[in-house]
Amino acid sequence: MSGYELNNNDIEIVLENLKAVKPDATREDAEQLLLETKMAVRDMTPEEQVEAFKKLQKPESD
């Protein structure tokens, strides 16, 4: 992989969530998604990271 350690608990959580939308998802699918997400965050500028964090903190509007 690319120097990232993937936590087994994180993989299991991602796999469970992934199976909710893709029932045939595999552990490898979950690992790939988790790795891609970590790499995407790594490639963000600090400002982009702050904006992404702010979006996560906003309550969802109905």
Q: Summarize pLDDT for 21-62 with one digit per residue, the tens.
A: 999 999 999 999 999 999 999 999 999 999 998 988 877 665
For the entire predicted model, the pTM comes to 0.70
> Rounded to 5 degrees, what are φ and ψ at 8?
-55, -40
Does 62 or 13 have the greater pLDDT score? 13
How would DSSP label each residue in 1-62?
--SPPPPHHHHHHHHHHHHHH-TT--HHHHHHHHHHHHHHHHTS-HHHHHHHHHHHHSPPP-
Quote the longest CA-to-CA distance of the chain.
40
Residue 60: the pLDDT is: 65
pLDDT band at residue 1 using 50, 70 and 90 as cut-offs: very low
